[in-house]
Amino acid sequence: MERIFENVGYHLEVMHPVTKKYLGHIKIEDGIVPEDAPTGYYSRKLEKLNHIAQRGTKQFILQGEFITELIPLCGKIIGDKMKVLERSQEWRNQNRF
């Protein structure tokens, strides 16, 4: 699958292992995570953490086992912007009922 957006970095989203409620995220700089690493739902796993996390403007320490999910942060469009916009419009029109 071709990349449409520039990759700015990653968030490691943290969820409670029992209730699966979102607790916050840990920012990960670009270059630390390999490009072929799974992201999104497929990257979910149970991990031991000892990091400073953030939710909104609040920062707090997470210690223990939590469910984590790696989310890419997308920046600007790579290549021809008009071509990407036309392709997204075509996709939207094909999926109408």
pLDDT tens column, 27-46? 987 778 887 889 889 999 99
Q: Tell me 44's DSSP state.
A: -
Tokens of 5: 């957006």
CA distance 75 to 43: 21
> Is this structure's pTM higher than 0.85?
no
Contact 9, 28 (CB under 8 A): yes
CA distance 70 to 91: 27
pLDDT of residue 97: 58
Mean pLDDT of the chain: 87
Residue 1 has pLDDT above 60, yes or no: no
Tell me the mean pLDDT in the region 50-74: 94
pLDDT of residue 47: 94
pLDDT of residue 53: 95
- Residue 48 makes CB contacts below 8 A (sequence gap 6+) with 64, 65
